[in-house]
Structure 1
Amino acid sequence: MSASPSTSDIGYVLYGTQGSGSAIVEIGLRWCGQAYRTVHASSWEDASAQDALRALNPLMQIPTLRTPEGDVLTESGAILMHLGLRFPDAGLLGDSTPRRDQILRGLVYIAANCYSCISVIDYPERYSTRTDKDDREAIVAGTKARLHKHWEIFADMFPGQPWLSGGTPGALDAMAVIVSKWSGARKHLEANRPEFFALLQRIEATPQVPAVCAKHWPPKSG
């Protein structure tokens, strides 16, 4: 794996906030050895750079990444694909065409089936015309159950040999290790897919990942 990015020659600009999917992109950038700077921005933090984020991404979703050329990239999976194609020596997309194809499959699977559930769980009011508290709680409960089922299916399809991305950790590992942190997925996997849970713990211990996780989920004091 590459060393941490230097503080000089900042090329990439990453818009995000603590505990969000921007952690996925930070892992990818660090694994590719790319310099970057972060801009604190999110749709739910009024004190953040909301206007700047909105100008780049009308949905105000994070992570949003500006490339050194000034192009705008959104969607965690697409950003990881960009990094993997632009910096092939980093190995984010594996070491063979068949492996790359499975990594792309996994990235889209997590984005479409797991990541998408998080928005419903966090903002159930956006997905129903009903305003009753019990109705919204039912939406959250049903979506969380479906999220956990999606992770079970993923664990069965992608056991990790030895890593999700093949011989070395890569894009799929970065995506899975962060998205699985949300909405009780880790606890569910520990009980229902313990081998996959152990794999996620191994990924979390690989170079650069502990530093990113500590930044986004600081250890609680006391």
Structure 2
Amino acid sequence: MNEFLSNSVFFGAVLSLAAYETGLLLKKKFKMAILNPLLIGTICVMAVLMIFKVDYKKYNESAKYISYLLTPATVCLAVPLYEQMSLLKKNFRAVAVGIVSGVLASLVSVLALSRIFGLSHELYVTLLPKSITTAIGMGVSEELGGIVTITVAVIIITGILGNVIAELVCKIFRIQNPIAKGLALGTASHAIGTAKAMEMGPVEGAMSSLAIAVAGLLTVIGASVFAGFM
């Protein structure tokens, strides 16, 4: 079985899609925030690889085809933004300040915590792109000399956490404005947070889509600057 799965061309892709679909079914049935499809899918994939002792490199070779869709899927997020263009123009200043504040909060928090816990420069720059989409974050981490695989894991964890606690945080801090919700999710939790924003409403989804792109570009610039602070 191990040899069969390892040599299968599409094993990784099929396993990933099946695991994610399992997560979706559990989320729809129990309607619990903790049952995030990506989180459940990740756990399922890890379980299968461990049970059948499939090497990660073999799995990744057959699952990489899904990764090719990541960038075009991110670009497609421009569609809901286009539909809310008039709202964006009306609130341009607030949107700009919100995204810049979110990016700075992310970079400053990583710097502060890295100093507190005495992390090395390599780990520090690895964590800097934690709140931007994987397609951009991997490039930033590699360029700054970080550990790309850890960066990917951190980005995914950040997104899942944002997706899971989004509604609770908004409730605790009484955030009711749809624009504020969308910007917060897109800036802090990239594409996974945007998925939650789209569940909340069209305005939240549009603003979150905008935040992903702008926050990604600002983080590329900001991370290069902050990399020299430690």
TM-score normalised to the size of structure 2? Answer: 0.30
- Which protein is richer in helix relative to its size? 2
* Structure label with greater radius of gyration: 2
